[in-house]
């Protein structure tokens, strides 16, 4: 009896132990799956996040009588410091023109001669959509009593991604003569349209940095602007020459600012 009872007790104990072990096994937590890595989307280039807009300005005064109307190119759409730097530069350029005009006004008689003097500053973005912003300012001025208004241009090309102005020499391979080929092409183009580059006017097209300070990047080529009286008389107006990039292909830096513009 006792043996049977003992054997029954042992069997019951073994069963109990087995259930206990099974319960412990079920209680052991399974290892959780490793979390998926967080993927941060790459931020798009700055030029895709901003829009170029004109900011109008108006000022007028009396004795002497004058009006000033300006359009300043400003970027909106981001709080990026590079955008702010561009905007500050554009404001400073327009303000320089206003200050210079007011300086000239100091020599104008207080009593109006005709209808007063004026300054108008407008602009156009000439570059195709992309990182480079190539801006041309069109400036017209008139001093009371003068025979006619005057016009001149001012240009700037800005690398928005790097936050800096681009100079003409940066478009070309280091150490190459880029002004020579540009000058030759421009003089040939001017002559073909009937501009007489005689001894009096040819100096304005010679290969010097001063003569080629007004340039812009366009989809069709490098735009060179010659202001009134630079290569032709006032009546002929300003002269523009577009040099196709193919004409300068051998000296353009393929890794320079024009890399994204070249066909």
CATH classification of the domain holding 177 = 3.90.640.20
Q: Are residues 156 and 172 in the same domain?
A: no
Residue 24 maps to a domain: no
In a shared domain, residues 150 and 176: no
Looking at the structure, do residues 54 and 160 belong to the same domain, yes or no? yes
Q: Specify whether 49 is located in the same domain as 162.
A: yes
Residue 199 to residues 92, 226, 231, 232: CA-CA distances in angstroms? 37, 17, 10, 11
Separation CA 178–CA 249 (nearest Å)? 11
> Which of 125, 142, 166 lies at the terminal end of a domain, its last residue?
166
User: What's the pLDDT score for residue 17?
Assistant: 39
- Confidence (pLDDT) at 82: 97
Q: Are residues 180 and 212 both part of a single domain? A: yes
Task: For residue 152, give the CATH number of its domain.
Answer: 3.30.565.40
Q: Does 161 share its domain with 175? A: no
Residue 135 covered by a domain: yes
91 occurs within a structural domain? yes
Domain contains 28: no
Residue-level pLDDT at 24 = 43
Q: Say how many C-beta atoms besides its own lie within 10 A of residue 189's C-beta.
A: 17
Say if residue 248 is in the same domain as residue 149: no
Q: What's the confidence (pLDDT) of residue 112?
A: 84
Task: Name the residue among 168, 174, 252 with its Cα closest to residue 207.
Answer: 168
Helix, coil or strand: residue 138: strand
Asked if the structure places residue 4 within a domain, the reply is no
Given 123, 146, 166, which residue is the final one in a domain? Answer: 166
pLDDT at position 258: 96
Same domain (yes/no): 58, 161? yes
The b/e string for 17-45 (b: 16+ C-beta within 10 A; e otherwise) is eeeeeeeeeeeeeeeeeeeeeeeeeeeee
Say if 6 falls within a structural domain: no
Together in a domain, 126 and 151: yes
Assess whether 130 and 177 both reside in one domain: no
Residues 217, 136: Cα–Cα separation, whole Å: 10
> Would residue 231 be called left, alpha or beta, if left means φ above 0 and alpha means ψ between -120 and 50 degrees?
alpha
Range of the domain at 229: 168-258
Contact between 137 and 154 (Cβ < 8 Å): yes
Q: What is the mean pLDDT of each run of 10 residues along the chain (263 residues)?
A: 40 42 46 56 87 98 95 97 98 98 89 91 97 98 94 98 97 98 98 95 98 98 98 96 97 95 86
Q: How many domains does the chain have?
A: 2
Query: What pLDDT, on a 0 to 100 scale, did the predictor assign at position 35?
Result: 62
Domain boundary, last residue among 116, 151, 166:
166
Query: What pLDDT does residue 110 have?
Result: 85
Is the residue at 107 inside a domain? yes
Residue 73 included in any domain: yes
Q: What per-residue confidence (pLDDT) applies to 256? A: 96
pLDDT at 178: 98
> What pLDDT score was predicted for residue 30?
52
pLDDT at position 19: 43
């Amino acid at each position: 009896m006792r043996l049977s009872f003992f054997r029954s007790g042992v069997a019951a104990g073994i069963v109990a132990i087995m259930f206990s072990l099974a319960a412990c096994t079920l209680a052991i937590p399974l290892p959780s799956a490793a979390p998926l890595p967080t993927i941060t989307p790459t931020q798009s280039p700055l030029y895709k996040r901003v829009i170029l807009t004109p900011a109008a300005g108006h000022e007028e005064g009396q004795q002497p009588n004058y009006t000033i109307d300006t359009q300043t190119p400003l970027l909106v759409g981001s709080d990026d410091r590079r955008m702010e730097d561009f905007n500050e530069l554009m404001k400073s350029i327009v303000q320089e023109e206003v200050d210079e005009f007011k300086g000239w006004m100091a020599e104008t008689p207080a009593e109006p001669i005709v209808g007063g003097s004026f300054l108008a500053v407008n602009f156009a973005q000439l570059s195709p959509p992309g990182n480079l912003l190539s801006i041309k300012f069109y400036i017209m001025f008139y001093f009371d009593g003068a025979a006619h208004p005057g016009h001149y241009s001012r240009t700037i090309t800005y690398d928005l991604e790097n936050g800096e102005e681009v100079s003409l020499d940066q478009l070309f391979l280091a150490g190459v003569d880029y002004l020579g080929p540009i000058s030759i092409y421009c003089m040939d183009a001017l002559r073909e349209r009937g501009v007489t580059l005689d001894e009096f006017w040819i100096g304005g097209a010679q290969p010097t940095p001063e003569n080629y300070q007004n340039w812009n990047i366009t989809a069709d080529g490098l735009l060179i602007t010659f202001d009134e009286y630079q290569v032709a008389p006032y009546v002929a107006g300003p002269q523009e020459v577009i040099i196709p990039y193919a004409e300068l292909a051998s000296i353009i830096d393929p890794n320079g600012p024009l890399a994204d513009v070249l066909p």
